[in-house]
Chain A
Amino acid sequence: MSLDFLVVLGQWPMLLRGLALTALLTAVAAPVGTCLGIACAWSRVHGPAWLRAMVGAYVELVRNTPFIIQLFFIFFGLPAMGVKLSPETASMLAMVLNLGAYACEIVRAGIESTHPGQIEAAQSLALNRWQIFTRVVLPPSLERVWPALVSQIIIVMLGSAVCGQISTEEISYAANLISSRTFRSMESYILVTLVYLGLAVLVRQVLHWAGPRFIFGP
């Protein structure tokens, strides 16, 4: 057995395009999914009963089914209902819905661990419910759960490898294509796996750097 990475590296334009799409999918899904998660967490803690039930059902459904089934359902199943999506849109939607459900539970844990005295203090300053949630409860909650949230974003990014199965041209799709073009499957998968590992480390660093500066601020 011998490995020849040069043949695979020769296909760099395709690798680069795949990497760009993976990065784009993550860059959109991470903030949108997190916002969806925060909104869902708010509804599960403070929302009216019917909304709580609906969000609860959504969260449990997503958390207890595999991502690939969610993706297939959105891409192959929804057209039967008249909703036709491009592979990229379907991948994006699946990633956002997936992250939203997990982020909901993570953020909710943060919100529920808020000290009641904090809320009383905010009420005594005559802040309204919206101000209390966005200024007093949310930022420290996010700070507490930030490591878990970052891990979840990375899990969703790695999960996006599955999107290649509906011919979204992200980097694992590029790996498949290169392996069938050059007959160098082992090399292309090793290379792309290393790219994912690098991306995971990079995303973790960036989010740990950005979190305290821009999201729950000093």
Chain B
Amino acid sequence: MVDFSLWDIVRNLLLALRWTVALSLIAFAGGGIVGLVLLIARLSKLPGAARCVALYVQVFQGTPLLMQLFLTYFGLSMLGVNTSALVAASVCLTLYASAYLTEIWRGCVLSIPRGQWEAAASLAMNFGEQLRHIVLPQAARIAIGPTVGFLIQIIKGTALASVIGFVEITKAGQMIANATYEPFLVYGCVGLMYFALCFPLSVWSRNLERKLSPRR
């Protein structure tokens, strides 16, 4: 048996924490881009877009992230794509994040009074201009708080990537716990590291929501 000091455990977990952060950033960036495209498709009143996006959101919100991960992992390899755990986890979390973000942002856009759209239209702006100059800047202000809040959801979601063999902090914790027979200490440390990552974000998101939400 290898001898691990507390410092060895913490150091190895911190090294794995990089991958948790990296995966979270990939998913957040990817999800943001896909989510924005879906949002615009939905707002532009393309025929059938509203129903398709609603179905997409329903599927991702109504099924466990774990199953989505397995499906992506095996699905990609069935399609002949040579998958690593990182690719599968990135693809899956991107899709997952996009479904939630498009729904969050749609709520923010809907909270912009109808009159703003109409005023923009009466200035002869087309749909793109209405969105870019009038609606999105106002909606973005409201959206920042909930979006930061959702980032926590993504960070917690990356923990499940351990199940398909991606070595981030949860998987590293499992391996160290098996090697040291100190699961209480190791999982305690892992939990505290997630907390250290997420808690500042949740405080920040709460403050943003208070500061940026429109006064009534």
Contacts and interface: CB of A to CB of B under 8 A. Distances in A.
A70 B63 CA distance: 20
Contact of B67 (A1, A60, A193, A201): A193
A196 interface: yes
Nearest to A193: B67
A175 interface: yes
A201 B58 CA distance: 10
A124 interface: no
Contacts, number: 119
Contacts of B177: 72, 76
Contacts of B7: none
Interface in B181-216: 182-188, 190-191, 194-195, 198-199, 202
Contacts of A63: 152, 198, 202
B67 A161 contact: yes
A172 interface: yes
Interface residues of A, number: 39
A189 interface: yes
Interface residues of B, number: 42
Interface stretch (B33-41, B72-80, B107-115, B139-147): B72-80
Contact of B70 (A68, A79, A189): A189
Contacts of A200: 61-63
A61 B182 contact: no
A65 B194 contact: yes
Contacts of B52: none
B175 interface: no
A118 B36 CA distance: 43
B191 A70 contact: yes
A162 interface: yes
User: Which of B70, B155, B156, B190 has the most A CB atoms < 10 Å from its CB?
Assistant: B70
Closest 6 CB pairs of A and B: A161-B64, A66-B159, A64-B198, A80-B184, A76-B183, A66-B156
Interface of B: 58-59, 61-68, 70-71, 74-75, 78-79, 152, 155-157, 159-160, 162-163, 170, 173-174, 177, 182-188, 190-191, 194-195, 198-199, 202
